[in-house]
Amino acid sequence: MDKVIKDIRCNACNCVHHADDYKCTAGHIEIGNTSACSCQDTLCATFELDNSKKHCGC
């Protein structure tokens, strides 16, 4: 497991960086959408699909 980024809660359960306790194990994160006006408009550009995790609807 990579280093956990403290105080970041990750709900992207199909991501390779998602730990079972809703932690992010990526070494860094990049959040996107420069035109975001609300939290629904943001995106995690660090997301990588983990094909072995099929329990979240992807």
Partner residues linked to 18 by β-bridges? 24
Q: What is the pLDDT of residues 29-54, one digit of tens each?
A: 888 777 877 767 778 888 888 888 66
- pLDDT single digits (tens) 5-22: 677 888 888 889 888 888
Collapse the DSSP code of 21 into the 3-class scheme (helix H, G, I; strand E, B; otherwise coil) and give the result: coil
Give me the pLDDT at residue 54, please: 62
Number of domains in the chain: 1
Domain of residue 37 covers 1-58
CB distance 42 to 30 below 8 Å? no
- Give the E-state strand segments of the chain in sequence order: 5-9, 23-24, 31-32, 43-44
Q: pTM score, two decimals?
A: 0.66
